[in-house]
Structure 1
């Protein structure tokens, strides 16, 4: 028989349940409820595993784990906690915990983890000295988010490629940033690129760089995103929209571990962790021949699925408080929500997920008349919202009339104007925003609500841009009447 398992848990009901389950598996369990008693027991006997709560009567079970390792360096540790935040999961991982379980946990999974921990012989992972995780980007304690936190902690101490899946607005880039900031490449750069926002004929240059003279307008060597991310993390967002030719080059780069600049002859080694993300279901795209199956397998080494906000409604209160506090730090009035107002927020579908909730909370912080926001204020602002169709992973973007013509016009404009790197986005927006807005107003006969709905923006945002661009919607309405 192996050495006993040491259980440190001050909730007697949970302690009894865990003890009974482990003893049914033929394991011997020694139980205590304080850190002091834990240390005394560790000094007296060898244990095959340690299961510990975090908040105990005389201290923090995670903070004191170094003392456990001083006494028994090879003991695997399993942390269970009701303090189920990303911070807790990361702290548990950083102190070398074998596994972390948020309460309430699946008892069968706990048993499997204990059995695996006892059999494991891998060395423990210790945190980098002085690491702290105070400003973490992810908020929520729901069970779906706990699964996300656990997946994040499992990829922090390696460079495995991660594929983040989830609807628009669920926080895919925040997860990528968390993996970077908390991982072993945190001292390097975090380079994010939206592969859907780059014209097809420029994407290879943006990702891999180009040599001087590689094509018309290439007046100097350009260092691409792969090289910019050297020593850090490269985040490839909206990977499902990447053109096929670029997919082929990306696959070759991942397979070979090096890139070749456009027009270049010298291979440049890749020194960046790759994290990709998409709001699309890649399986149908593969079947339709629009996404390479071999690239999918290269990217999908560790998948992380982000839940939509409608599946983690219990997190809405915490998210709302978080965004109100963040808005206050950014200069907006300090606000709070009444219980009725918070309940109304929880009842909303939030089809735009966390991004939509964040924007709504910021508008509340700016426009509310009282510091304590009540249900009537929330209801009034919700009435001004433009309804949007419910998204789903893999659902196509609503078709926009003339989208292919618009893409062609944009490509021609880029070729003709050749804006300098760093100015492409601003100049393209400036060039195309006015004709886009006038086209929408012409299509809708000057109806700003319909135009805003087609554009996918708030009506107030549209009004603001029309005023700034000196576009009079009435002239389009007059044209329709005449």
Structure 2
């Protein structure tokens, strides 16, 4: 089988050729769009591997004509232009895969092998080219490339997506990108913060209610599921959803229909579900606070947003982006110097991108000069750090947690001690088992209890130590 490689960087071409030949392929290499078209006209190829920037044109822009003449030939796109726009453009051509540089050469070779074996599955669809100015995500770091690749894989299907990441990393922006760039972009995007809705109202907010369903229900209310019909429903902070609402959400996902509170009619839903959380759901599952079956329903396609400290190389681009946004909102135009960007890159940014954005807006407002350098930024950083230290809330104590648990769970009289002990032991044992990789002997030593006692309690609490060994 013969593969056509279009790459104008000779050193990269040599490495790719060697890897593909090791997979048993014959490789024809050329450097330009014109050479590519000439070779394609002369003979057929099992696959096309092409860079984007070529000596005489754009490898993506010229692909539609290639796809029209060779609809069954899988295409793998390589690019050093590591932006979400490039990833989406690559996806819109119907490419089998997109690899941002630098990439794993062995993974590329395996992908070409898979593509040749799955040519019948290549869609060959052309999408409308997304406008770069409308893309909500900024950054070209390797962690963001992984995010972009996952986004492009879910644009033409309705698989449920679970976005994970710390607060302030931009999880809602990922949900918006999936909606804006996907096939449901003509429908509504409805965002719900499930942690901000009182527990007694969340079912009504999500599923709606009928007139007279409860005190105050003076008219029928259409819930968020129906409001998002034909579009996307974004469920933020899903880890804080009450258990009863989790049960109804699971039923809706399983059946593809909902029932309004107080209603008898089943209403079919035509809504893509994207959920997000900043919490680790596995300990919540172990503690009985989050349904495991719902977790697997939501976690069909997980996308993990990196913390800003893991993508420090994106900070300068993000800062310049926020300066432009600040100018558009009426703040003075500022220009960031390289030493100013370097200082920003050295900060911890515990609040992630949200904290950086707020700080850049403050800089745009308070800076005395149009050029923002390290000398300008340093005192503003110190001021922010002092304000953060003064406003930091006291962490809740164990006594407060117990009081909140009793109020929330309202355990039956006579069972308070047993239920409270189980609620405390589940997360405690889960955390120790996670740290020891499921080793019961070490866990018992850390806890200061007998191993047989630990084994007995794990069985009573329904905790499987082997599950923690797999996760480790």
TM-score (structure 2 length as normaliser): 0.82
For 1:40, which of 38, 41, 44 is the aligned residue?
A: 38
Give the aligned partner of residue 449 of structure 1.
Answer: none
Cα pair distance change 1:332/1:127, threshold 3 Å = farther
Give the aligned partner of residue 164 of structure 1.
Answer: 163
- Three-state SS of the structure 2 residue aligned to 1:104 is coil
Give the aligned partner of residue 328 of structure 2.
Answer: 329
Give the aligned partner of residue 449 of structure 2.
Answer: none
- Three-state SS of the structure 2 residue aligned to 1:234 is strand
For 2:66, which of 47, 68, 84 is the aligned residue?
A: 68
- Three-state SS of the structure 2 residue aligned to 1:386 is helix
Kept after mapping to 1: 8 A contact 2:179/2:232: yes
Give the aligned partner of residue 262 of structure 2.
Answer: 263
Cα pair distance change 1:60/1:373, threshold 3 Å = same
Query: Residues of 1 paired with 2:344 and 2:86: CA distance?
Result: 27
Query: Residues of 2 paired with 1:223 and 1:113: CA distance?
Result: 46
- 2:137 is equivalent to residue 146 of structure 1: no
Give the aligned partner of residue 435 of structure 1.
Answer: none
Query: Residues of 1 paired with 2:223 and 2:54: CA distance?
Result: 51
- 2:396 is equivalent to residue 399 of structure 1: yes
Query: Residues of 2 paired with 1:406 and 1:49: CA distance?
Result: 61
1:24 Cα deviation (Å)?
Answer: 1.8
Query: Residues of 2 paired with 1:240 and 1:47: CA distance?
Result: 49
Cα pair distance change 1:203/1:408, threshold 3 Å = farther
1:403 Cα deviation (Å)?
Answer: 9.0
- Three-state SS of the structure 1 residue aligned to 2:133 is coil
Give the aligned partner of residue 371 of structure 1.
Answer: 370
Within a 5 Å distance, the mapping from 1:279-428 to structure 2 comes to 279-386=278-385, 398-399=395-396
Kept after mapping to 1: 8 A contact 2:92/2:128: no
Q: Once the two structures are superposed, what CA deviation does each residue of 1:163-203 show, in whole Å capped at 9, x if it has no partner? A: 00000000000000000000010000000000000000000
1:386 Cα deviation (Å)?
Answer: 3.4
Query: Residues of 2 paired with 1:300 and 1:149: CA distance?
Result: 18
Kept after mapping to 1: 8 A contact 2:162/2:300: yes
- Three-state SS of the structure 2 residue aligned to 1:321 is helix
Cα pair distance change 1:407/1:381, threshold 3 Å = farther
- Three-state SS of the structure 2 residue aligned to 1:385 is helix
Q: Once the two structures are superposed, what CA deviation does each residue of 1:147-173 show, in whole Å capped at 9, x if it has no partner? A: 000000000000000000000000000
- Three-state SS of the structure 2 residue aligned to 1:134 is helix
Give the aligned partner of residue 252 of structure 1.
Answer: 251
Within a 5 Å distance, the mapping from 1:34-183 to structure 2 comes to 34-120=32-118, 121-129=120-128, 131-183=130-182
Query: Residues of 2 paired with 1:340 and 1:293: CA distance?
Result: 48
Cα pair distance change 1:356/1:123, threshold 3 Å = same
Q: Which runs of 5+ in 2 are unaligned?
A: 408-472
Query: Residues of 2 paired with 1:130 and 1:168: CA distance?
Result: 31
CA RMSD of aligned residues (A): 2.0
1:69 Cα deviation (Å)?
Answer: 1.1
Cα pair distance change 1:276/1:43, threshold 3 Å = same
Give the aligned partner of residue 9 of structure 2.
Answer: 11
1:377 Cα deviation (Å)?
Answer: 1.1
Q: Which runs of 5+ in 1 are unaligned?
A: 390-396, 410-482
1:398 Cα deviation (Å)?
Answer: 4.5
Query: Residues of 2 paired with 1:341 and 1:130: CA distance?
Result: 35
- Three-state SS of the structure 2 residue aligned to 1:236 is strand
- Three-state SS of the structure 2 residue aligned to 1:78 is strand
Count of aligned positions: 400
Give the aligned partner of residue 462 of structure 1.
Answer: none
Kept after mapping to 2: 8 A contact 1:133/1:182: no
Kept after mapping to 2: 8 A contact 1:77/1:99: yes
